[in-house]
Structure 1
Amino acid sequence: MSQLKKSPLHDRHEALGARFAEFGGWSMPLQYAGIVGEHKAVRSSVGVFDVSHLGKARLKGAGAAEFLNSAITNDAAKITVGQAQYTVLCNAEGGVVDDLIWYWLADDEVFLIPNAANTAEVVRLLAAAAPEGLSVTDEHDDYAVLAVQGPRSDETLTALGLPVGHDYMRFDAGAWHGVQLTVCRTGYTGERGYELVVPAAQAGAVWDAVLAAGQPYGIVPAGLGARDTLRTEMGYPLHGQDLRPDLSAGQCGVGWAIGWRKDAFWGDAALRAERAAGPARRLIGLLSLGRGIPRPQMSVLYDGAEVGEVTSGTFSPTLAKGIALALLPPALTPGTQVSVVVRGREEPFEVVKPPFVTTGVRAS
């Protein structure tokens, strides 16, 4: 087994008493003081996550954005330079190779943030298809990414002199004590917040500064455990569970990120055919009506027959209930009662449309 990679902030996490877990080939902090407390701090005040395991790649050369647009599902025509966009990269069958965010830096340059385990494959696929004169480089180890998330994230970053207040999915260049970084109003928690792309060599100093600046606002370091409960409350899919190469983008809750009016993109023929026929299943939410806590791969029953499976399941600290994302037939619409087999028992759940909670992610 290959050795797990470590974040540039690994020593900080050790000093804070973090519990670590493997994620996408990286050893990352799962929690510090506790998942529930970290989750609630992000919902009510502010938390900071190390998400440096996320990939980083760069496309540079004439027509960089145009080439990327020919591959990804979303439509670059919806945004412009200075904006970021969530999108999906599919295989020929319409299955999800990866979901990622791309930053439109300039006419001839874009920056990508794929998922940790998929970075090399995304770079390989794009490099193999790129026209002459366009470079695709893997910069995974060159940068750290800090996610400052929560209602008090603006005050925290303002105290550091960093730019805040830009619209959702926009980014701006910033500097802290000579460290050049990018501040993007994105995140995976559903709360108002920002992600800082920082040179790896300066990541420790910036992490320390963020924690100090957020102290008056109750900031806590938060691990990937809280990130998972937060994203599940929002119904955000996770690659490897809700998003997979064997599952079409049209089924797994990211159909909104498909630019159907585009002439072509990778996997478009299969996805258009599925759209015309109607998908056989779709990703939808489940809310516990009892005490059952769902987990991935648990069976979902309707009228005693197995009709699908849980792809993501957890305890919601906000609702104090079990919640899940599950692949189910489209006929099982919100309001339908189903059962999830939890430790051999059939537990009652209601089909619901995510998000499970209302948050301030797009608040001005």
Structure 2
Amino acid sequence: MDDLLTSPLHDRHLALGATLGAFGGWSMPLSYPDGTVAEHAAVRDSVGLFDVSHLGKLAITGAGAAEFVNRCFTADLGKIGPGHAQYTLCCTEQGGVVDDIIVYLVGSDEVLAVPNAANAARVAELLRAAAPDGITVTDRHRELAVLAVQGPASPEVVSTLFDGADLGHLDYMAFHDFEGVRVCRTGYTGEQGYELLVPAADAGKVWDALVASGATPAGLGARDTLRTEMGYPLHGQDLSTEISPVQAGSGWAVGWAKPAFWGRDALLAEKAAGPARRLRGLRATGRGVPRPGMAVLRGGEQVGVTTSGTFSPTLKIGIALALIDSAAGVALDDTVTVDVRGRQLECTVVKPPFVPSHVR
């Protein structure tokens, strides 16, 4: 692990006794001594605090920067205004997904893109190769920390950072700069929450203040169980260069009417023809936990493969996301089995989320 990058909060994680693991080239906390289930519950019931500083940060600046980004990524930036963020996709010309990204629209001449850690360099490379004269792509990966404060008590906890500032005016996916900290109403858990972009030098004091106000440190293990309960995709598993947004049910993040974006022709053709496979939810009816990469069977024949799978701390059962062959005719509420190391685990096909969303 000596060659891995570390967060500005690495010393805090060590002091808290975190279990660290490699994630996208970074050493990041997977869990803390109380464990993933307790951290998961803290987010669902109160408020959890995640260090996600491994996420990339790319500043795209120059005259027409927003218009340029809109020609590259799938979602239509024209549907939001400055001070808002948007979930979008960076696709290949064949329609596969290089990465899923949150973009912050600062203004017509400035956009901040937040890709996943493992793909940040590739996204930057693609943007730079396509950028016209006058557009600059600056890597701010190490300059900024990212803290995710998630849970029903998150508004009160975050407001303590800014002398009790009222965050109620922030709509979902809107952001505002408070005292050098960019606060955005977004997250990856299905709960009310915020993501804070903080100068790396200030990350420690912001973390300490949030913990002092009642936020429970949570690791990437809980982040994974929380997002799987919501059916949110993880790039590299549920989305990839081999799994298109049409297959993954992420077509809502595509501006189909836009005249240009990477992969447009391939995605339009796939949408018109219908995808060969679709991402579905699987809810175990027996004891067992599906994991990624397991065969999904019906009548003894393989009809798909799991892409994500975990134990749901909320439901106390196994859940999974799986790519199911369209030709197999598997419908919602049908029963399939997952081959869990040679044992057949019965599951019901469902439409995620597995638990209600409390984002509002």
Same fold (TM over 0.5): yes
Deviation at 1:157, TM superposition (A): 1.2
Deviation at 1:359, TM superposition (A): 2.6
Matched to 2:95, the amino acid is G
The one of 299, 316, 321 equivalent to 1:320 is: 316
Q: Distance in 2 between matches of 1:242 and 1:168?
A: 24
The residue number in structure 2 matching 1:341 is 339
Task: Give yes or no for contact 1:163–1:172 (8 Å, CA) kept in 2.
Answer: no
Identity in percent: 62
Q: Distance in 2 between matches of 1:327 and 1:192?
A: 29
The residue number in structure 2 matching 1:168 is 172
Matched to 2:199, the amino acid is P
Deviation at 1:343, TM superposition (A): 1.6
Aligned to 1:211, the other structure's residue is in SS state helix
The residue number in structure 2 matching 1:102 is 103
Task: Give yes or no for contact 1:295–1:312 (8 Å, CA) kept in 2.
Answer: yes
The residue number in structure 2 matching 1:272 is 268
The residue number in structure 2 matching 1:6 is 6
Task: Give yes or no for contact 1:49–1:147 (8 Å, CA) kept in 2.
Answer: yes
The one of 243, 246, 250 equivalent to 1:250 is: 246
Cα deviation code 1:228-258 (max 9, x no counterpart) = 0000000000011111112222111211101
Q: Distance in 2 between matches of 1:17 and 1:101?
A: 31
Q: Distance in 2 between matches of 1:278 and 1:106?
A: 36
Asked if 1:64 corresponds to 2:60, the answer is no
Q: How many residues align?
A: 354
Matched to 1:250, the amino acid is V
The one of 270, 288, 292 equivalent to 2:288 is: 292
Asked if 1:182 corresponds to 2:170, the answer is no
Matched to 2:210, the amino acid is V
Deviation at 1:90, TM superposition (A): 0.2
Aligned to 2:161, the other structure's residue is in SS state coil
Aligned to 1:346, the other structure's residue is in SS state strand
5+ residue gaps in structure 2? none
Task: Give yes or no for contact 1:24–1:117 (8 Å, CA) kept in 2.
Answer: yes
Q: Decide which moves more: 125-134 or 244-253.
A: 244-253
5+ residue gaps in structure 1? none
The one of 205, 222, 229 equivalent to 1:226 is: 222
Q: Distance in 1 between matches of 2:166 and 2:259?
A: 37
Q: Distance in 2 between matches of 1:153 and 1:95?
A: 35
Task: Give yes or no for contact 1:163–1:174 (8 Å, CA) kept in 2.
Answer: no
Q: Distance in 2 between matches of 1:28 and 1:253?
A: 29
Asked if 1:23 corresponds to 2:23, the answer is yes
Task: Give yes or no for contact 2:67–2:108 (8 Å, CA) kept in 1.
Answer: no
Task: Give yes or no for contact 2:183–2:197 (8 Å, CA) kept in 1.
Answer: yes
Q: Decide which moves more: 238-247 or 93-102.
A: 238-247
Length-normalised TM-score, structure 2: 0.97
Q: Distance in 1 between matches of 2:43 and 2:19?
A: 19
Cα deviation code 1:62-82 (max 9, x no counterpart) = 111100000111111211111
Q: Distance in 1 between matches of 2:182 and 2:210?
A: 14
Task: Give yes or no for contact 2:101–2:116 (8 Å, CA) kept in 1.
Answer: yes
Length-normalised TM-score, structure 1: 0.96
Cα deviation code 1:135-161 (max 9, x no counterpart) = 011111110000000000011012222
Q: Distance in 1 between matches of 2:99 and 2:330?
A: 27
Task: Give yes or no for contact 2:150–2:192 (8 Å, CA) kept in 1.
Answer: yes
The ranges of structure 1 where at least 4 consecutive aligned residues each deviate by more than 3 angstroms after the TM superposition are: none
Q: Distance in 1 between matches of 2:187 and 2:340?
A: 31
Asked if 1:44 corresponds to 2:45, the answer is yes
Task: Give yes or no for contact 2:24–2:54 (8 Å, CA) kept in 1.
Answer: yes
- After superposition, residues 59-138 of structure 1 pair within 5 angstroms as 59-138=60-139
Q: Distance in 2 between matches of 1:274 and 1:127?
A: 28
Task: Give yes or no for contact 2:161–2:206 (8 Å, CA) kept in 1.
Answer: no
Aligned to 1:232, the other structure's residue is in SS state helix
Q: Distance in 2 between matches of 1:138 and 1:125?
A: 13
Q: Decide which moves more: 326-335 or 127-136.
A: 326-335
Cα 1:316–1:30, aligned 2, differ >3 Å: closer, same or farther?
same
Task: Give yes or no for contact 1:237–1:253 (8 Å, CA) kept in 2.
Answer: no
Deviation at 1:170, TM superposition (A): 0.2
Task: Give yes or no for contact 2:50–2:148 (8 Å, CA) kept in 1.
Answer: yes
Deviation at 1:2, TM superposition (A): 7.7
Q: Distance in 2 between matches of 1:327 and 1:246?
A: 12
Matched to 2:167, the amino acid is V
Q: Distance in 2 between matches of 1:163 and 1:75?
A: 30
Matched to 1:120, the amino acid is A
